[in-house]
């Protein structure tokens, strides 16, 4: 790496964002995670770490296809306000161990819509209550739906209960 090169190596991931400006459709975007994590032994920053430390706005490029292309003519970076993001969905990111010990959660959002998501015991200690998990200082909580991670913004949750 060139010492004077300002580019920081990034890992591009395609996600879908459900936001308050148009809750009818998911916005497909490319997010740019750090190629190395400063918070864990993982080689790549996780989306949860990214969301916990991103600040008020996250940079993203709209993705028009399943694969992101550097040569796409529509490579405009937009900044999205995290307080308007209801959730971010990753694609097929769950490992088999994360899918083993799940319990289902019924979540009612502020707009009275509901979600049925799962929570892996790998995300929390066995002695931790659901209330302890949701009362952590992070804004986004990680759940599982259809073998994909859903990062749900706590500010849009009205209530939740285990099923």
Distance in angstroms between the alpha carbons of the first and the last residue of the chain: 51
pLDDT (tens digit, 9 = 90+) per residue, 18-58? Answer: 998 876 678 999 998 888 777 666 578 889 888 988 889 99
Rg of the chain over all Cα atoms, to the nearest angstrom: 17
In sequence order, what are the residues at sequence separation of 6 or more whose Cβ sits closer than 8 angstroms to the Cβ of residue 72?
64
Residue 156 has pLDDT above 50, yes or no: yes
CA dihedral (153, 155, 158, 159) positive or negative: positive
Range from 40-54, 82-96, 120-134 that averages highest in pLDDT: 82-96
Structure pTM? 0.84
Given a contact cutoff of 8 angstroms between Cβ atoms, the answer to whether 91 and 147 are in contact is no
SS3 156: helix
Q: What is the DSSP secondary structure assignment for residue 114, as one 8-state letter?
A: E
Q: What pLDDT score does 1 carry?
A: 46
Provide the mean pLDDT of the chain.
Answer: 84
Tell which wins on pLDDT, 153 or 129. 153
User: From CA 10, how far away is CA 35, in angstroms rounded?
Assistant: 5
Confidence of residue 85 (pLDDT cuts 50, 70, 90): very high
Distances (CA, A) of 140 to 1, 136, 157: 33, 10, 11
């Amino acid at each position: 790496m060139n010492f004077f090169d300002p580019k920081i190596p990034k890992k591009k991931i395609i996600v879908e964002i459900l936001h308050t400006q148009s809750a009818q459709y998911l916005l497909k975007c490319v997010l740019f995670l750090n190629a190395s994590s400063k918070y864990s032994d993982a080689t790549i920053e996780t989306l949860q770490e990214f969301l916990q430390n991103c600040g008020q706005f996250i940079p993203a490029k709209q993705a028009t296809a399943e694969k992101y292309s550097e040569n796409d003519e529509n490579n405009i970076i937009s900044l999205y306000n995290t307080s308007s993001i209801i959730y971010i969905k990753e694609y097929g990111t769950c490992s088999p161990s994360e899918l083993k010990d799940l319990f289902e959660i019924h979540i009612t959002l502020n707009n009275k819509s509901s979600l049925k998501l799962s929570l892996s015991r790998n995300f929390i200690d066995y002695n931790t209550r659901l209330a302890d998990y949701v009362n952590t200082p992070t804004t986004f909580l990680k759940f599982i739906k259809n073998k994909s991670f859903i990062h749900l913004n706590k500010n849009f949750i009205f209530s939740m209960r285990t099923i």
